[in-house]
Chain A
Amino acid sequence: MNKLYTCIACAAIATLLCFLPAISQEDVMTIGGPDAFYGFTDPQRPVVMFTHTQHMDLEMIDGSCLPCHHDGRDEEGNFTEGDMVPCKDCHDEAAKGEMSLLNAYHKQCIDCHEQAEAGPITCGECHVKTEFYGMPLGNDENQGESQE
């Protein structure tokens, strides 16, 4: 009996863990790193912190899922709405060219930030380094997020 409960509990926790990012998006997402959920298991640059809700609450997004979650373009060249999947499902990490994951992130983030005149646009504002050969640099890991 105990065994069954344990199994159910595990399954529940597992399910919860799986859906957690989707349902509780205020969690800070870490792009890059060993868990590989958003690509780049072994990144050259420091991982990037991304807060989902903070972006969804923005006026220019206004609760919509576009322009991030897109799936092709309509006649006018605007994005059409796509599935709620991580970017790397369509944008291949190993690919070259415009569709590569690297470009997808850079283009999506930086273009939007430029348009909004808010948010990070230079390398180090997203890829924040906290130490220099073991010496702490005093940079806040999440400083990119707080940038206006």
Chain B
Amino acid sequence: MHDIYNFVVGPLAWFGWGVFILGAIYKLVYAYNKFITKDATSAHYMSWKFGLRSIGAWLIPFFTTGWKNNPLVTAVTFVFHICLILVPIFLSAHAILWQQFFGIEFFWTLPDNVADIMTLLVIAACVFFAVRRLAYPRVKFITEAKDWWVLLLVVSPFITGYLAYHQIFNYQFMIVLHVITGLAWLALIPFSRLSHMLFALFTRAYIGSEFGGVRKVKDW
């Protein structure tokens, strides 16, 4: 089992991170090139001021028209995304691995019991999204198979992480599974719907610039 563990946290981890980072760079560079060549007439209107203004407005829960009109989704999605980003970065178990492999010391980590609750919140949010996809016609209609895969992909490191942390079922198997799902999570970010993580800031910045600069109205 340790051989497998060492493989997944060694070569496979390099591979996963590599795909994530190189893939993200590739995606962003490709999109940037297309943007300034094919969409030059849009790129021209990019503005720091309006772009940042738009990003800022949409980072505030319940501030924009979209958030206000979907209060439940808003609450859930903010909790979901905050936990989703903070937990993997500031989890003490992860920090210890950074220390172990690269000698990188974290200035702060999440207390384990807090991280544990945040993990449950992420899982609960995913259940909420799933129920929504099944039960809410407007979401059901637009749901494709890949939306389900993405949801499964997103939740799986949290489920396996939770089970591993609590040592439910076979721990060693679970931790290996956790690392594999975690790496898949990372590696697929550039190549699935999760790429919204890479593009969200830019799509917002553009539409903010267009609304602020050309249309002279708010985009929220």
Interface residues of A (CB under 8 A from B): 44-45, 96-98, 102-103, 106-107, 110, 114, 117, 121-125, 128-129, 132, 137, 139
Contacts and interface: CB of A to CB of B under 8 A. Distances in A.
A124 B171 contact: yes
Interface stretch (B33-41, B50-58, B98-106): B98-106
A123 B94 CA distance: 10
A92 B100 CA distance: 18
Contacts of B96: 102, 106, 123
B5 interface: yes
A106 B100 CA distance: 8
A139 B105 contact: no
Nearest to A111: B100
Contacts of B192: none
B100 A125 contact: no
B100 A44 contact: no
Contacts of B2: 117, 121
A107 B100 contact: yes
Contact of B175 (A44, A45, A114, A122): A122
Nearest to B103: A98
**Majority-rule SS of B interface residues:** helix
A139 B100 contact: no
Interface in B133-175: 164-168, 171-172, 175
B92 interface: yes
A124 B103 contact: no
Given A44-B111, A124-B171, 16 more contacts: A44-B92, A44-B113, A45-B112, A96-B105, A106-B96, A106-B100, A114-B6, A121-B6, A122-B171, A123-B93, A123-B164, A123-B175, A125-B172, A129-B166, A132-B166, A137-B168
A116 B171 CA distance: 21
A100 to B, nearest CB: 9
Nearest to B112: A44
A33 to B, nearest CB: 16
A80 B111 CA distance: 35
A25 to B, nearest CB: 26
Contacts of B112: 44-45
Contact of A124 (B92, B107, B113, B164): B164
B171 A132 contact: no
Q: Which of B2, B103, B164 has the most CB of A within 10 A?
A: B2
Contacts of A123: 93, 96, 164-165, 175
